[in-house]
Amino acid sequence: MEYSRRFLALLSRCDNLSTRTTIDLYTGGLGQPLAADVEMQHPVNLQQAMSLARAYEQRQEQASTVNSSAPPKSSTRRALASTSATGSAAGLQDDKPEGTRSRFRRLTPAEMQEKRQNGQCYFCPEPYSKDHKCVAKGVFLMELEEGEEDPLGDDISHLEISLQALTGLGHAISMMLQVTIAGVPLKALVDTGSTHTFIHTEVAARLGLPVSSRDGLSVLVANGDRVRSPGVCLATEVLIYEEPFSIDCVALDLGGFDLVLGVQWLRSLGPIVWDFDALSMAFWYRGRAHRWTDLGSKALAAHAIADP
């Protein structure tokens, strides 16, 4: 079975699945009536479940062959058979019986980003919350390409923020950038002492950004304290000197900044050349060489050179 081959390929990417869970995942994707036939036999392992599925599929194919070869008893039945065959050929262009179609469906990056922006569950169109349960029952699998990040962001159980970023206390060397969110100009601190990007909760509320709540989410401060966060503004569109970015921003009560751009975002830029005397950063991004300077600098704030 083609379905069994695809299932084994996907299963090789999963760890620590029990035998019962593996069987349930397999039968859940078989479609009816195959799934019911296999489940009634109570297979004890995946190999037995696959053997049963193959046997029942062969039985269905044989029954279909016998029925199609039987001569019609009247001209009316011949007409009905002809109409049915024509409809089947148009409706099943993939040459797969409806009952054996795979239930696996992979969301495209565009679909995942749209659901994040709308605050929707990945498996149904309903709004997502920590208590959300999908109305439609079934077995779902969201597959990511190798190197593709989890759409919910990095491991947000290890969030850290510097004391300067949280309190707003000045520092001899600090770099500020002009950013724009939802058409509103804001000031952002570039901070290598913070792991992620943080947005002031009041700014998020003022801009109407949806905040996806995370149960028990807290941020570790450099002095050892922990501060609770109401959640994450997923896939926030941030414009930095005419360069667009889609950033997951952790909501937090910041002392003196609208936004804190941390290491997670800095890593996406690739290698960066810093000049702390001039308070500038230079890097190559999306085919262009960029040089950004601090807001307080008298030099040109941003400069980009296209790849020749």
Residue 257 near residue 168, CB atoms below 8 Å: yes
Give me the sign of the Cα torsion angle 170, 261, 130, 17.
negative
Nearest to 254 by CA among 236, 230, 238, 224: 230
**Angle, vertex CA 92, rays to CA 90 and CA 98, nearest 5:** 145
For domain 160-306, which architecture applies?
A: Beta Barrel (2.40)
DSSP assignment letter at 306: E
What residues have CB less than 8 Å from 248, skipping those under 6 apart?
153, 154, 196, 197, 232, 233, 234, 235, 236, 264
DSSP assignment letter at 120: B
Note if the bond before 33 is cis, omega within 30 degrees.
yes
Residue 209, pLDDT score = 94
Give me the sign of the Cα torsion angle 67, 71, 73, 78.
positive
DSSP assignment letter at 100: G
Element (H, E) at 207: helix 201-207
* Token pair in block for residue 204: 């998020």
Residue 65, pLDDT score = 75
This prediction has a pTM of 0.50
Task: Give the residue extent of every domain in the chain.
Answer: 2-84, 105-145, 160-306
Residue 245, pLDDT score = 94
d(CA 247, CA 264): 9
Q: What are phi and psi of 188, to 5 degrees?
A: -125, 140
Residue 232 near residue 226, CB atoms below 8 Å: no
DSSP assignment letter at 98: G
Residue 162 near residue 224, CB atoms below 8 Å: no
User: Around Cβ 277, how many Cβ atoms within 10 Å?
Assistant: 7
Q: From first to last of its 308 residues, what are the pLDDT tens digits of the chain? A: 678 887 887 777 666 677 888 888 888 788 788 888 888 888 889 888 888 888 888 888 887 776 665 555 444 444 444 444 444 444 434 444 444 444 445 666 677 767 766 777 766 677 766 566 655 444 445 444 444 444 444 455 588 888 777 776 655 567 889 999 999 999 999 988 889 999 999 999 999 999 988 777 888 887 788 889 999 999 999 999 889 999 999 999 887 789 999 999 999 999 999 888 888 899 988 888 888 988 876 555 555 555 44
Q: Which string of b and e fits 247-274 if b means at least 16 CB within 10 Å?
A: bbbbbbebeebbbbbbebbbeebeebee
Residue linked to tokens 């039945």: 77
With H, G, I as helix, E, B as strand and everything else as coil, classify residue 199: strand
